[in-house]
Amino acid sequence: MSSYPHPIIAREGWPFLIASVALALAIGWLAGWWWSAPVWLWVLFVLQFFRDPARTVPGDRRTVVAPADGLVCLIEEAAVPPELGRGSELVPRISIFLSLLDAHVQRAPVGGEVLAVEHRPGSFHSADLAEASADNERNSVVIRTPEGHEVVVVQIAGLIARRIICDIHPGQSVKIGDTYGLIRFGSRLDTYLPAGSEVLIELGQHSLAGETVLARLP
């Protein structure tokens, strides 16, 4: 087991945090501190939404960890997004729904080389609906492990989430549990596993990104 330290707040959250604190201070100074109370509540929301907590990441190369905090809302067989050009073979897919109360940074489910990053525009249905995987705006990442297994993780925008951030690119190497992106505000993550993988998480279980084990590779 190895522990990967993370900053307290994801870098994408600092502009929101600084602006919110500045607004709260200005309202408190000009109108009175009681009037600034709602803004301070917003500051607390920003802190919890953009938090980037340290996690203890399993080091086994066959382990696939959760790419996001949230509720496992779907476990089924499905084809990977067509824009990746990987064919129509059905493989295990695990979907995690992130509520507004979950941390929203995303982490690499496996370590290896990033083979592809593909963004596709789409709709903004509620991310907990089954059709969100097919219809909503999404960003797909393919990671190949040193053993040659390909794992696909897909960031999916939701009803409120309108901004997908992905900080990795093809050719880059990532470690399991590395932070690589974020979605504002509320979202869904789909993980597609190679055929023959053993799914270890259960429907309705709450996952912690980079720490909860989703599956074991063949």
Q: Are residues 62 and 101 in the same domain?
A: yes
Number of domains forming the structure of the chain:
2
Per-residue pLDDT reduced to its tens digit, 146-155: 999 999 999 8
Residues 42 and 68 in one domain: no
Residues 10 and 91 in one domain: no
Domain that holds residue 126: 55-216
Residues 139 and 197 in one domain: yes
Query: 167 versus 53: which is more confidently predicted?
Result: 167
Convert 24-44 to b/e letters by CB count within 10 Å (16 or more is b): beebbeeeeeeebeebbeebe
Tell me the whole-structure pTM to 2 decimals.
0.78
CB neighbour list of residue 171: distance below 8 Å, 6 or more residues apart: 113, 114
Summarised one tens digit per residue, pLDDT across range 37-85 is 888 787 777 666 667 777 778 777 889 999 988 899 999 999 999 888 8
Active site residues: 187
